[in-house]
Amino acid sequence: MSKELRMALIDSHVHTVLCRHAEGEVADFLAAASEAGLAGLAFTDHAPAPCGYDARHRMPLDQFSVYEQMVSRSRSGGYAGEVLFGIEADYYEGFESFLPSWLKSQPFDVVLGSVHYIGSWGFDNPDNLEGWRGADVAGVWRRYFDLVGRMVDTGIYDVVAHLDLPKKFGHRPPESSIREMAAPLLDRISRAGMAIELNTSGLRRPAAEIYPSVLILSLARERGIPICFGSDAHRPFEVGFGFSEAVRSAREAGYSDCVVFRQRRKHVCPLPVV
């Protein structure tokens, strides 16, 4: 894809070093966005969780002001594109004591909603692969989709991140059961007015596929669910990764436009021709 064609796209899922498992300065992420010819990016680092949920993979609450400053200062660093301020917030047991009021109190452009745990099992963490051994794959997907459904029903998030994340290491139930599980979930997403992201990090994993699959994307399109694009970059060179393929998948599923969230409102833009 040429730079001119990519200019319409914003990478709406980018992490920073504050989450403790990413690398690179904010300026390097912006330089990578320029290099990739993107119109801009949204920093969406993992939200703090004062209750201690998954503390190893997120900034503590007292570092949130550092995050805010890093992002706002980066706007005066000579980067020509748009810098949006977002957060990737998990749905987890006990979320309600913190997240709903906190998310509302912060000046976010976009809030990504994620499920990374089923009970105490961080099923997408490569250190926890033993949980998959001998697992009932369709059963795991069902429990995951159930949690995503509950997340959607809270109404506190804008975008469902990496919708079919359980496929990360290649565990997939038959297409017929994916369709049967995804349809009612997508109905809920549509009712909630949420968007879903085309998250290209799946291309870098054993799944070797964008989240979600074109099958799920087509079901989303039938319901008029808007889409945005995210690389889930944890290193500068990952910014904008696989976006040509993501645009092709979106078109294959019948999409001709996408959305960008600013101040938590959707703005529609046409898909570039790739």
Using CB under 5 A, list all residues that contact Zn ion. 232
Minimum distance, C-beta of residue 90 to Zn ion, in the bound complex (Å): 9
- Cα separation, 240 vs 142, in Å, equals 31
Q: Which is nearer to Zn ion, 115 or 225 (CB)?
A: 115
Q: Which is nearer to Fe ion, 11 or 88 (CB)?
A: 88
Q: Which is nearer to Zn ion, 74 or 201 (CB)?
A: 201
> Tokens at residue 82, please?
């748009």
Minimum distance, C-beta of residue 120 to Fe ion, in the bound complex (Å): 17
Give residues in contact with Fe ion (CB under 5 A): 88, 114, 232
- Nearest to 226, CA basis, from 248, 259, 184, 200: 259
> Tokens at residue 161, please?
């991140």
Which one of Zn ion, Fe ion, none interacts with residue 74, CB within 5 to 8 A by kind?
Answer: none
Minimum distance, C-beta of residue 45 to Zn ion, in the bound complex (Å): 8
- Nearest to 173, CA basis, from 131, 143, 130, 128: 143
Minimum distance, C-beta of residue 137 to Fe ion, in the bound complex (Å): 20
Q: Which is nearer to Fe ion, 164 or 232 (CB)?
A: 232
Q: In 3-state terms, what secondary structure has residue 154?
A: helix
Burial group, residue 82, by CB count within 10 angstroms (0-12, 13-18, 19+): middle
Q: Which is nearer to Fe ion, 158 or 232 (CB)?
A: 232
Number of helices (H) and strands (E) in the chain: give both, helices first.
8, 9
Minimum distance, C-beta of residue 162 to Zn ion, in the bound complex (Å): 6
CA angle 192, 144, 185 (to 5 degrees): 30
- Cα separation, 230 vs 164, in Å, equals 14
The residue of the chain with the least Cβ separation from Zn ion equals 232
